[in-house]
Each structure stands twice: as structure tokens, then as C-alpha cells.
């Protein structure tokens, strides 16, 4: 029997998907702290206590990498400046496969906040999520993968968006998955190279910034978040550790459909699979870690699920797939939220 679907508040559910796009012309909820305060905040960081939803704006977080609270009981967000970013990679570049539809273009996005770390198991539990990783066998992920400061993994797009919707309900903050373009802008942090750190892919350089298969000496599973060096935007594990869900449907020709400097491009999911995941992971090689690499979900990620029908809430065969979250600067209108929600996938495959 499938895991019971969490109770959702419709308005919060709409927000969870639409707000991550940073849509303009916002309405509904105009008297909330979110719409009256967040839109004017220019702080470099925002820190949220998960239990209460209380937010603090900060110019710096000196103990970011060492304070375990930021990886378990709180969420830390970094501002990503508005502007244009490279999307994709030039054909013929390292890791670009013929026929995968990848090509270089650009996109323009408004300012938004993105999680400094991948969402951890400790944070996910406090957000109201279930421990899906217990369905993943240790032969796939190793014996020490279940740790509060390690990434939550084995989660599906539906499981994440539904849980975030429930968390958002009744709060003056909204959390959501990033769009594909938001993710790449955050990852690149102003770069146009293969990786956020440049084009170097020697073992020493890769090991500094990313947990990947080629330099892990056969060790299974992700590391605690923040174990590697951050990118120029002070975001950790954008390359490697676990791959990260985005809001978008996977389309082979997605890059070709993006007009140069298009504003906030997004391909809303109309089917449950495939959706896009990003960033490479501990079980993949260096080519898969590129800033432009896109992966796609499929039903193959739950082959070992014994349920009939198989669960839509988690993936038994994806111990390398997690997520990070974004916060909007403005609350979208009800119409914008409704459009985004209605374009999402249904309950069947």
C-alpha cells in the first residue's frame, strides 16, 4: 500500500511551486510579512528556525560551516543577485554528449534566495518529511548514510513539493524547489566555465569542491553537507554529494527553446516523469558534475519498491538524489499560483 499522502492546504500548495520562480505582479497575501517585508530585504543571508518559521536577516554568518544548527534545526539562505547567467554548455565541450540537446544560451532572473546547503536529514524531519532513506538498502549507500547532517535522499519530486506545501501552510514564509534556471545561476555564481571553480578537472581540484565517485576511493554514500569548499556564491555541494531536484520537466530540447536572455524560463511538469535533477553526485563521474549537466528522473528509480502500485513519494533506487530549496522575494498572485499548480503532475505515472 502506498504511503499516505500528507494533508495539504491548497493555497500553500500553490505557493510552494509558483513562488520559486520569483514571479512579478504579486497579489494574494498582500498583508503578510512575506509580501511587505521580504520584498524590501537586501540582506546577503536569511536564517530560518524551522520549528517556528522565524526569519533573521544577516549581512554575514561567520560560523556557517561549523555551527551544526545550520545543518539540522535552521535553514540558511544566500541571496542570488538579479541578472543574466549562462545556461548550458557549448557543443563539443567536455562531457557534452551528441544528441542530448545541450547548447549554450543565457537567461535573466530576478533576485532570489537559495539554500546554502543541500537539505539534510535533520532538516527534512523538522520540515515534516518522512525518512525515505530507510527504504534504501545499505548495499547501495553504505552503512553510515543515515546521519542528521548528511543530505536527505531517495526523495521524489512529489514527496518534496507536497511536504514543503504542508510546511508553508499558515506561515509567513514559503519554501520551494528551484527552477532549472535558478539552480544553474546559483551553481555558476557568475562563471561560464565547466564547473563553478573553472575548467580544471584533475583529482586534486575536484576533491576540493565535490564528492564524486572518481575520488572517493570506493566509499559509498554522501558526506555531511558543507564538507567541501563552497563556490563563489558561498553555496556548498553544488557539485557532487547528492544530485538535486528542480521544478522543471525534463525536455531534450529545453536549451534550444530558451530565447537568449529569456526571463525566468521554466518548463512546468505535465507528467510525473521525467523531471530534471542537477549537480552530479557521489556515485557519478566528473563529467556529470558540470554546471550544465541535467539528469532526468524515471520509474527506474523505484524498481526495488515492493509496493503495488509503487510509491510516488520516494525512490528506493536513488540514494544519490536529494534537493535544496529557494525562497522568493515576492508572493505570486493566486492566478499565478493556480496556473503553476494545475500544470504539475497528477497522482498516476
Average pLDDT value for residue range 187-197: 96
Share of the chain above pLDDT 90, in %: 58
User: What digits encode the pLDDT tens for the residues 286-297?
Assistant: 889 999 999 999
Domain annotation covers residue 346: no
How far apart (Å, rounded) are the C-alpha atoms in residues 162 and 166? Answer: 6
Residue 132 confidence (pLDDT): 77
Lookup: cell for 303: 524498481
Q: Which residues lie across from 120 on neighbouring strands? A: 151
How far apart (Å, rounded) are the C-alpha atoms in residues 304 and 118? Answer: 25
Cis, peptide link before residue 309, omega less than 30° from 0: yes
CB neighbour burial string for 34-56, b if at least 16 within 10 angstroms, e if fewer: bbeebeeeebebbbbebeebebe
How far apart (Å, rounded) are the C-alpha atoms in residues 252 and 50? Answer: 37
Q: What is the count of structural domains for the chain?
A: 1
Domain of 175?
Answer: 10-336
For β-strands 321-322 and 275-278, DSSP reports them as unpaired
**pLDDT confidence tier of residue 73, bands split at 50, 70 and 90:** very high
| DSSP labels, 31-81 | TSHHHHHGGG---SEEEEETTT--EEEES--TTTTT-GGGGTTEEEEEEE-
pLDDT above 60 for 334? no
Contact 212, 285 (CB under 8 A): yes
**pLDDT confidence tier of residue 337, bands split at 50, 70 and 90:** low
User: What digits encode the pLDDT tens for the residues 224-265?
Assistant: 999 999 999 999 999 999 999 999 999 988 888 887 788 888
User: What digits encode the pLDDT tens for the residues 1-39?
Assistant: 333 333 333 444 444 455 455 433 333 333 333 333 444
**For the domain that residue 298 is a member of, what is the CATH number?**
3.90.1580.10
Domain annotation covers residue 136: yes
Residue 69 confidence (pLDDT): 98
Domain annotation covers residue 3: no
**pLDDT confidence tier of residue 331, bands split at 50, 70 and 90:** low
Nearest Cα to Cα of residue 83 among 120, 103, 109: 109
Amino acid at each position: 500500500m502506498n504511503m499516505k499522502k500528507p494533508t495539504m492546504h491548497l493555497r500553500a500548495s500553490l505557493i510552494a511551486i509558483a513562488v520559486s520562480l520569483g514571479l512579478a505582479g504579486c497579489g494574494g497575501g498582500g498583508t503578510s510579512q512575506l509580501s511587505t517585508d521580504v520584498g524590501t530585504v537586501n540582506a546577503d543571508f536569511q536564517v530560518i528556525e524551522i520549528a517556528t518559521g522565524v526569519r533573521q536577516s544577516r549581512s554575514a554568518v561567520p560560523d556557517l560551516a561549523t555551527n551544526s544548527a545550520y545543518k539540522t534545526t535552521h535553514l540558511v539562505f544566500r541571496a542570488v543577485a538579479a541578472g543574466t547567467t549562462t545556461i548550458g554548455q557549448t557543443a563539443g565541450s567536455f562531457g557534452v554528449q551528441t544528441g542530448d540537446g545541450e547548447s549554450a544560451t543565457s537567461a535573466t532572473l530576478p533576485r532570489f534566495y537559495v539554500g546554502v546547503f543541500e537539505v539534510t536529514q535533520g532538516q527534512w524531519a523538522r520540515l515534516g518529511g518522512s525518512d525515505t532513506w530507510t527504504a534504501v538498502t545499505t548495499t547501495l549507500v553504505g552503512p553510515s548514510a543515515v546521519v542528521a547532517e548528511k543530505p536527505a535522499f531517495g526523495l521524489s519530486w512529489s514527496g518534496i513539493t507536497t511536504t514543503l506545501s504542508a510546511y508553508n501552510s499558515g506561515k509567513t514564509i514559503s519554501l520551494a524547489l528551484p527552477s532549472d534556471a535558478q539552480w544553474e545561476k546559483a551553481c555558476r555564481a557568475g562563471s561560464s566555465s565547466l564547473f563553478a571553480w573553472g575548467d580544471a578537472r584533475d583529482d586534486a581540484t575536484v576533491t576540493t569542491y565535490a564528492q564524486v565517485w572518481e575520488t572517493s576511493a570506493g566509499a559509498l554514500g554522501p558526506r555531511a553537507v558543507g564538507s567541501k569548499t563552497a563556490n563563489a556564491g558561498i553555496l556548498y555541494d553544488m557539485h557532487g554529494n547528492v544530485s538535486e531536484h528542480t521544478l522543471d520537466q525534463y525536455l531534450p530540447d529545453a536549451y534550444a527553446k530558451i530565447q537568449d536572455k529569456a526571463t525566468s524560463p521554466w518548463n512546468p511538469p505535465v507528467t510525473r516523469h521525467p523531471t530534471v535533477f542537477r549537480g552530479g553526485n557521489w556515485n557519478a563521474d566528473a563529467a556529470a558534475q558540470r554546471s550544465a549537466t541535467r539528469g532526468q528522473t524515471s520509474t527506474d528509480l523505484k524498481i526495488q519498491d515492493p509496493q503495488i502500485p509503487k510509491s510516488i513519494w520516494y525512490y528506493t533506487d536513488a540514494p544519490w538524489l536529494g534537493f535544496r530549496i529557494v525562497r522568493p522575494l515576492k508572493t505570486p498572485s493566486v492566478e499565478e499560483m493556480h496556473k503553476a499548480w494545475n500544470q504539475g503532475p497528477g497522482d498516476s505515472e
